[in-house]
Amino acid sequence: MRLISFDVFRTLGFPDTQVIKPDHFLRHKDELRAADWVLFPEYWQLNALVHGLKCRVFPSEASYRIGHDKIEMTRAFQAVAPLNTPWTMIEANGPRERELVWDAMPLPFVAKRPRASMGEGVWLIEDRAGWKRYCESADVLYAQEYLPIDRDIRVVIVGDRVVTAYWRHQAEQGFYNNVARGGRVDHSPVPAVATELALRVARDLGVDHAGFDIAMLAGMPYLLEFNRLFGNQGLNQGGALKQAILDHLSRASTPKDPHTPLDPTPPWPIAV
């Protein structure tokens, strides 16, 4: 395979891979057109690469588009797994909408900024003053029911396979499970329903490189979000991610037998 990468660190050790700086991509249009795969471009490059140069990109375009914005992500979750999506209100940030959300959401509840990661841009709203501070900083109101958990599950998906799954315990200051905010990784076995949910949703949405965050409540898995570019702190299998990516690219490059039966899809929601 002829590969071109825009992220030297995420593709370190990949064979037959040319690395190009994102800002210089228009100097390499012929190489990009000839490549089998273009790996880890910046979000702002997508339209030029996919629609202009007809490149095949990894992660998939759906991984970029859906993963770029929590509002679009939540609506996608609601479309394919509504009973596994926490109750969420998304409204314009106006006086009437602020009161509407405040009156509807039981305390405490979670408010988010649509474009953030690693636990940034997430607030636990416990009183009117906290809601007012959030509203004053938000462009759009995004409020979600609070799930009383002290850990969540990270499921790493590459292609149509689960690479790994592990628990993330809450940080000492509470609320945040993100490792970047002090959360603790635990490799104890996770419920199969969590990995099954992440894999099915990834397949339904066309997402092929993501770390899904899933909460378990009374045996039911709930989709919190996914990150297209996830940290590797919980990946205790050296080289597994790289090999999973290369295997996926190879499989996706090979035409499928039209007589191969489709995978059966279980009914929603997934539950024990």
Q: Is residue 49 part of a domain?
A: yes
* The domain boundary residue, chosen from 58, 74, 96: 58
Taking CA 204 as the corner, what is the angle to CA 2 and CA 256, rounded to the nearest 5 degrees?
A: 45
Give the pLDDT confidence of 67-82 residue by residue, as tens digits.
999 999 999 999 999 9
Q: In what order do the strands lie in the sheet with 161-169?
A: 184-186, 161-169, 151-158, 209-217, 220-227
For residue 253, give Cα distances in angstroms to 1, 36, 143, 246.
9, 8, 41, 11
Residue 127 belongs to what domain range? 87-145
CA atoms of 90 and 95, how far apart (whole Å): 14
Bridge partners of 122, per DSSP, are: 112
CATH number at 236 reads 3.30.470.20
Q: Is residue 76 part of a domain?
A: no
* The domain boundary residue, chosen from 79, 113, 145: 145
Same domain, 174 and 215: yes
Same domain, 135 and 169: no
pLDDT of residue 70: 94
Give the pLDDT confidence of 249-270 residue by residue, as tens digits.
999 986 655 555 555 444 445 5
Q: Is residue 269 part of a domain?
A: no
Pick the residue with more confidence: 195 or 239?
195
Same domain, 102 and 188: no
CATH number at 110 reads 3.30.1490.20
pLDDT of residue 120: 72
Bridge partners of 161, per DSSP, are: 158
Contacts 24+ apart (CB under 8 A), 198-201: 198/155, 198/157, 198/162, 198/165, 198/223, 198/226, 199/155, 199/157, 199/160, 199/161, 199/162, 200/81, 200/265, 200/266, 200/270, 201/77, 201/80, 201/81, 201/84
Q: Cβ atoms within 10 A of the Cβ of 163, count?
A: 19
CA atoms of 49 and 44, how far apart (whole Å): 10
Q: Is residue 74 part of a domain?
A: no
Average pLDDT on 132-156 reads 95
Q: How many domains does the chain have?
A: 3
Q: Is residue 270 part of a domain?
A: no
Same domain, 235 and 155: yes
Q: Is residue 261 part of a domain?
A: no
pLDDT tier, 232 (very low <50, low <70, confident <90, very high otherwise): confident
pLDDT tier, 159 (very low <50, low <70, confident <90, very high otherwise): very high
Question: Rounded to 5 degrees, what are φ and ψ at 22?
Answer: -50, -40
Question: What single DSSP character describes residue 212?
Answer: E
* The domain boundary residue, chosen from 114, 145, 176: 145
Same domain, 17 and 41: yes
161-169/88-92 β-pairing: unpaired
Q: Is residue 64 part of a domain?
A: no
* pLDDT higher than threshold 60 for residue 133: yes
* pLDDT higher than threshold 80 for residue 102: yes
Are 214 and 197 contacting, i.e. CB atoms less than 8 angstroms apart? Answer: yes
Residue holding tokens 């709203």? 125
Same domain, 185 and 225: yes
The pTM assigned to this predicted structure is 0.88
Q: Which two tokens stand for residue 85?
A: 């999506």
Q: Which two tokens stand for residue 27?
A: 């100097």
* pLDDT higher than threshold 80 for residue 202: yes
pLDDT tier, 181 (very low <50, low <70, confident <90, very high otherwise): low
Same domain, 52 and 103: no
Same domain, 50 and 133: no
Same domain, 129 and 157: no
Q: Is residue 81 part of a domain?
A: no
